[in-house]
Structures are given as C-alpha cells and as structure tokens.
Amino acid sequence: MRKILTLTMAATASLALLSAPAVADRPQELPSEISGGAWAAGHVQGIAIDQRKGYMYFSFTNLLVKTDLKGNPVGSVTGFTGHLGDLDFNAKDGRVYGSLEYKAQKSFYIAIFDVDRITSMNMDAQTSDVVKTVYLKEVVADYVADMNGDGKFDGNVANTPDHRYGCSGIDGVSFGPEFGKKGGRQKLTVAYGIYSNVERQDNDYQVLLQYDIQQWKKYEKPLTESDPHSSGPEQADGKYFAYTGNTTYGVQNLEYDEHTGNWMMAVYKGKKPQFPNYSFFMVNGAESPRKGDLVGQPQPEQGNLLTLAPGGLQHAASGVRGWEFTGEYGLISLGAGRYYVSKAGTLAEDGVTKQTGSAQLYRWTGQVPTPFDRVS
C-alpha cells in the first residue's frame, strides 16, 4: 500500500510539473527603477541588461557604466572620444554590443564589451583590453557618398545633398531574428542615423542592416582612436528600409520584442510638415520584406521594404503608422510584455553639471497614442 501511495504521489507531482510553467518562463522580479548614476559625460544614449548575472549597462555617449540591479556602480569604461550610442546584450556570448561613431575619421564601429572583465571604475577603452571593435564598411560608404558629384565630401553636416539616404552614421542596435521570421539564428541589426533635412526627398526611410556575427571574431580589433582600423565585413547580410518620414538622427534606440513579435524604433521627432513625425514606430516582424521602389531617390532604386506594424496612430496622407512615446534614451524588452525605458536628466554637483540616467519599468498595453504604462 505504501509503495502504491508513493507512486501515486510521484505521478501527481510529475503531472504538476508538466502543467506548471517553466521557471524560465515566469517573469523575473525586477526593480521598478535602476539608477545609472550621475556622470560628467554626455547624456544617456542606451541601456542593456544581463538578467541572469544581474547587471545593467548604461551608455553615456563617451562612457559605459556597469551597475548591479540596485544601481550600485560596479565598473566603467572611459576614454571614448567618439559617440557611443545604443546598446544590446548578446545572451549567446555574454557580451554587450554598442554603436560607436568617429565621424571626423569616417569610421563607424560596433563596439563589443567583454563585460565580465569590467570590474573597476575608469577602465580605459583603449588600454584595458575590454573593448573590441568591428568596422562597418557599408555604413562608411553611404556616409561618405558624393551624391551631387562635385568631387568633395562635405563632412558632418546635414545641409548637403551628400550622404546616401541622409546617412549620418549609426545608432540603434539590437539582436533578433531575420526580418519576417519569428525564430532562427539571431542577427545583429544596426540602424542608420539619418540627418534631419527637410529639403531633400531621399531621406524618408529608416535604414536597417542585418549581420550574421558568427564569424566576426576574425574582424575584432582593439580600439585605436589615433589610428582607426578598417577590419570588418565587406557588406551587410541584408539591407532594409522602413518608410517613416525623415527623423532627427534616425533610430536612436532599436529593440526586437518577442512579446509583440515586432521591432521597436524610438526616434527624435522629424520636422517635415508632410509627415506626422511620430516618436515611436514598430516594424511588423511577421511580414517578410518585399522588393520595391525606394521613393525620392535621385536615381531609380529598389530595396527590401519593411512594413510598419498595425495599430497606433495612422497618417492617411503618408500612410505612416506610429505612436508617441519617449524611448530614445534607452529601451530594453525584458520579456512577458515588460520593458526598461531610460529616463535622461541632469543635476549639479559642486558646480559641475552631470548627466543622469535611470531605467524605469514599463508594461505593454498597445493603447493609442502611448502603448506603454509605467510600473511602479
């Protein structure tokens, strides 16, 4: 009888385990807010999280800060003279990837941080061996493109017909599946910065490059600002275009969201009066790119066109859909419809103005015009 009872209890326990959600599927308890601190640096540009080890990463333009989930500083990487932008954590290799621009040197990189080695404050980006970089040749080619054929590059200025598609460099970065697929191999997607220019007609797309980074180890080089290297893939594995109207410096923060199955794009609003100039867009992750004409280009051109996700606000005249939400300083999809969104600010300490950043917890609602609610 005891043996039968034991077997029955074991069977009941097994059924309970099968019916219960896996531990990994249960939303992890996360703080409603994590402070990234206050620093004499640029404003906060992006955030990333390693939920398993319990660390947050904040990009402050020329500084990377690592904290625990209580906001205590653990380490930092300093010494960037370029522009460190959006970040994403790659769960496959445990490293943080970020956009890094050196416009004067015509050099654009993905910075790869070996975050396990960031264990103290003020580690130097060039000498501490925690940063590797990969050069993005396709971005450089579009940035330096002489579109008016006058034989000269006009440099880091918006008021010029140069810079193909209005490319000002790169900013948004995120890991996710190939466009149009729900699963499969994760690719690194990199969004162009796009200059604000209301006079030209060829700058109304968000330009997104996808890279399979499995073979990137052979390209990785230390950061050498005095002698920028050009080690990187010859071209992206895919180049895609999302029609949103011109925005100010393109996609500031890019994030693939498993909950909605879409790609989220947070931007600084555009200024063209013929567009609605929303601050938040989503690319429909379930719809495959289609070949089509790129409107407004100086010469007829076709590209891989992405479809904006349904819902939100819709501008009938342009066909653009979007929302209003402030995610341009940092956006992380945490799973189960939860997100960290970075809030930027300033404070004065001892007569010095410092930049602040904090990751605040939100949940997805899908409501219009703002599809997120703050979680307190």
Q: Per the confidence metrics, is the pTM higher than 0.75?
A: yes
Beta carbons of 172 and 146 less than 8 angstroms apart: no
Q: Residue 114 belongs to what H/E stretch?
A: none
Which tens digit of pLDDT belongs to each residue from 50-65? 999 999 999 999 999 9
Side-chain half-sphere exposure of 17, counting CA atoms within 13 A: 6
Q: For position 87, what pLDDT does the model report?
A: 98
* Nearby residues of 247 by Cβ (< 8 Å), 6 or more positions away: 194, 196, 206, 267, 268, 269, 270, 277
Which tens digit of pLDDT belongs to each residue from 266-281? 999 999 999 999 999 9
Which tens digit of pLDDT belongs to each residue from 314-356? 999 999 999 999 999 999 999 999 999 999 999 999 999 999 9
* Nearby residues of 74 by Cβ (< 8 Å), 6 or more positions away: 55, 66, 67, 68, 118, 119
d(CA 152, CA 78): 34
Q: Mean pLDDT in the chain?
A: 93
d(CA 239, CA 12): 53
Q: Quick check: helix, strand or coil at residue 17?
A: helix
- Provide the β-strand partners of residue 240: 208, 304
- Nearest Cα neighbor of 322 from 269, 272, 362 is 269
- Nearest Cα neighbor of 240 from 257, 263, 217, 259 is 263
- Provide the β-strand partners of residue 50: 55
Residue 10 has pLDDT above 80, yes or no: no
Beta carbons of 108 and 140 less than 8 angstroms apart: yes
Which tens digit of pLDDT belongs to each residue from 230-288? 999 999 999 999 999 999 999 999 999 999 999 999 999 999 999 999 999 999 999 99
Which tens digit of pLDDT belongs to each residue from 132-180? 999 999 999 999 999 999 999 999 999 999 999 999 999 999 999 999 9
Q: For position 29, what pLDDT does the model report?
A: 87
